[in-house]
Structure 1
Amino acid sequence: MLGLVECTMTHGINDERKESYNMELLEQILSDSNIDLAIQQVVRNKGSNGVDKMSTMDLKRVMGDVEYRNNLKNLIRARKYKPQPVLRVEIPKPNGGTRLLGIPTVIDRTIQQAILQVLTPMFDPQFSETSYGFRPNKSAHMAITKSLEYLNQGRDWIVDIDLEKFFDKVNHDKLMQIVSRTVLDGDVVSLIRRYLQSGVMIDEEYKESVIGTPQGGPLSPLLANIMLDRLDKELESRKLMFVRYADDVQIYVGTEKAADRVIKSVTKFLEEKLLLKVNITKSKVRRPGDDDTKYLGFGFYFDKQTYLYKAKPHKDSVLKVQEKIKEITSRSNGWSMDFRLLRLKQVFRGWCNYFKIGDIKMICKKIDEHTRFRLRMCIWKQWKKVSTKFKALMKLGVKRGKAWEWANTRKSYARTARSFIMCTTVTNKVLAKRGFLSMETLYLSKTV
C-alpha cells in the first residue's frame, strides 16, 4: 500500500524510486485478488454484451482459464493489449436529444474495473468535499442537502453551468496531463489512453474516438471527476460555494451581480483551461423558485411557515414517473393485474426512495389517485363481457338489478372508471387488498 500513498508525491522522488512505485502500481492492478474482485463487480452489474458478444455469464469461465489470464496480463505489461471498440448505444433524454453510451466488452469492463479499484483510493482523497457524483460514501441526497444549506445561508442566486455533451467532448491530452500528475506509472497512463482511443462501433462500422470518454465503462465516471476536479479547485480558490454531481454543477452566490460575474469567469475557465464546451443557451443565472430551476431531478421552493428553502420533485420528474405509470397501466399491453401491480410497486419504491428527502406527500396522493383511476379502467376492460361485469359487480356487493344496469353501461372506460359504478365497488380498500401499494404508504413508511 506504500506505493498508493507515496506515488502521489512527485517532488523529491528520484527516478529509481519512481520506477519502483510504478511497478508496484501496475502489479496491484494486475494482481489476481484485484482481478477477481473486478470480475465479481462486472458480473454483479450485469449489463449488455459488447462487440464480441461475450456475456457476463461467460466471463468467469474465460477469466478462470489461467493461460488466458496470464497472456492478458503479459500483453498489458508489454503495452501490446488493444482494447476493443465500445458498442455505441443511444439513450433518449427526458428533455429531448440523446445520451451516447459506449458499452465495452466484458473483458475490457473487467480491466477498467481493476484499474478503478486501484486508482480510486489515490484520487478520491484529493477531490472536493462538495463533489458528490460516483464517489464512495457520497450521494445525490447529500448534494441536494448541501444545496439547501447554501440557499438557506442567503446564497440564493444560482449559477447553473451546463457542459455541452461533456463526456463526448473531453480532451484526451488535457485529461491525461491531469491524470499523470498523480499516476506516475507510464504503463497505466498508456493503458488508460488506449481505452480513451479504443474507438466505437456504430451499426457495425468502426469510428475512431479522438475526443471524449464514453459513458458506459467503469472507468469513465472517475475520469470525469479527475477532469472536473480542476474546476472544483478553481472555485475553492475563489472561495465560491458550489455543488457538483459528475458534470452537473451549480454555484451559489448572494447577489445577482456576483452571479453574472461568476457565470462569465467560470465559462471562460472551462473553455480556455479545460478545453470544454459550455452550453451558453442552457447555462443561466437562476432563482430557487423558478420553474426551470432543477438539480438532480429536484426543484426548490420557499416554505413561508419555516422561512426556509426546501426541496421537492421537479415537475419534469413528476411527469416522468407519470409516463411510466401510463405505460404500466396501458389497457393495450395485455399484462395481468398481478404483473401491473408488481411493476407499480417497483416504480413507486424507487421513486419514493430517491425523492423522500423532499416534500412529496401531496404529490404522492395525487399520483396515487391518478394510478387508481387507470387501474379501474384496466379492470373494467378485463371484465370485457356484460356477463363478466355483472358477476364481478355482484361479487363486490352490488344488488342484482343495479349490477345488471351498470354492466350494460355505454360509458367509455375513462368515464366509467371515474363514475359511481367503479368508485363505490373497486374502492381504495379493494385495490389495496388486491395488492396495490400506494406511493403515499411507501413514503410514510420511509421506504428502502
Structure 2
Amino acid sequence: MHAPTAPVTALPVLVVGAGPVGLAAAAQFVERGLEPLVLEQGPAAGAAVREWAHVRLFSTWGELTDEAAEKLLAPTGWTRPDPGTYPTGGDWAEQYLQPLADALGDRVRYGARVTGISRAGRDRIVDADREQQPFLVQFRTADGGEEQVRVRAVVDASGTWATPSPAGASGLPALGEHAAADRIAYRVPDLDDPAVRARYAGRRTAVLGSGTSAFTALAGLADLAKSDDGAGTRAVWILRRGLSGSTYGGGEADQLPARGALGLAAKAAVDEGHAEAVTGFRTEAVERAADGRLVLVGEDGRQLEPVDEVIVLTGFRPDLSFLSELRLDLDVRLQAPVALAPLIDPNQHSCGTVYPHGRRELSHPEQGVHLVGMKSYGRAPTFLALTGYEQVRSVAAALAGDLDSADRVELTLPETGVCSGGGLPGLPVLTEGGGGGCC
C-alpha cells in the first residue's frame, strides 16, 4: 500500500545547481518559509565557479553577495569580505558559496545530476489536470544510482558553463573537432598552472572567438611569450569578421575599465607580433597534419598553417535536454524566455543596459517553472550576478504568494552596470557566470 500523497504545496521547491544564483534562490526560499531542495551535479558548492578559480571578477564583493544569503550566513559567524575588493572565482567559492551551502545544510545534495523533469503522470502533450500535478524530478547520484522526487516548483539555475559552443561557424562542431579533442580546449587556460603552462609554452596556438575570453587568452599567451620559459610561443587569432575600431572594445573610453584594459592588452599582443590576426575565417573542419598538429579549414577552402593547440572561446549555450517534457516558451535565437530575450539581446545591450527583471519575464506556459541566472540568458553573454539575485528574489516572492513584491523591481543598476572594477594585472577576467562577456 502506497503512502498518502503529500499536498503539492507541502513539497519542496527544486533548485538545479548550487552556484551563486541557485544558492541565492535557496536562501530566498528559506526566508519566505518555503523549503528548497538543491541538486548539484558537482562535489561541492560552486563547482563551475571552481573551474575558473584563477579568474578575477570585474565586480566587487559588495556586488556579489545576496541579501537573503547574508541573513542566513550571519548566525554561522561568517565574516563578510571587504565589499570594495575584487575576488577571484576561487575566493567566491570558498569564502561565500561553500559557507552558504553549509548553512543550508542537507537541503543541498551533491553528486546529483538531474536527468529529467516532468509533471507527475503527465508527459508534454497531456493537458488534463496538468497544473494540479507536482513535478517529477529524476536524477543520478554520485554512486551511479537513480532517484526521483516530487516538488512543487522548479528553478533551474544550472548555468551554461558545461556546454561551450563549438569551433564550427555553423554552430555545429567542425568536421574532425571531436577527433582532435586532445588538442582543443574550451576554457581560458590557467597559465600559472605548470602543467597548463607547459602545454602552450613555445607552441603555436589558435584562439577562436572575439569576446573578452579571447582577449584574456591572447593577453595571457603574449605574457607567456615574453617570459623566460615561453620563447617561441605564438598565437593565431581566428576572427569570423574583419578587424575594426570596435574589435578590441572601448579601450580607454570603455566605461568598464578592466574590460577596456583587457582589449588593449589583446591589441598589444597583435601589435607586438605575439599574435597574428586571421580575419573573415569561418571554421568548417579541423584536420590532422602529418606531424600530428592541427590544420583549420575555412568554409571558403582556406587552410591555415598547422597549430599545436586550439582554444575555442565562442560562447556558451544552455543545456535544455532534461527539460524536454516541460512546456517552455523560448526565443528562437537566444534560447532565453521570450519575454526576457528583447531585454538581453547582445546586438542591442551590454551588461550596463540590461535592466532588472523578475518572474514575469522568466515565466513559461508551464506554470511553476523558471530558468534563472546564466541559464535564463540562453546564449546572451550580458549576465550580472546582482541581476540573477533580483530574479530569484522575485520568483521566491511569487511562489510565496506575495505578487506585489514579486512584480516590484528592488534593484537599481547604474547605467554602466555594476561590473566596473579595475581588476588586477596578470589575472584574466570573465563573466560572473563563467562565460565571455561583460563581467
TM-score, scaled to structure 1: 0.22
- Larger Rg over CA atoms: 1
TM-score, scaled to structure 2: 0.23
Higher relative CO (Cα under 8 Å, sequence separation at least 6) belongs to: 2
Name whichever structure is richer in helix by fraction: 1
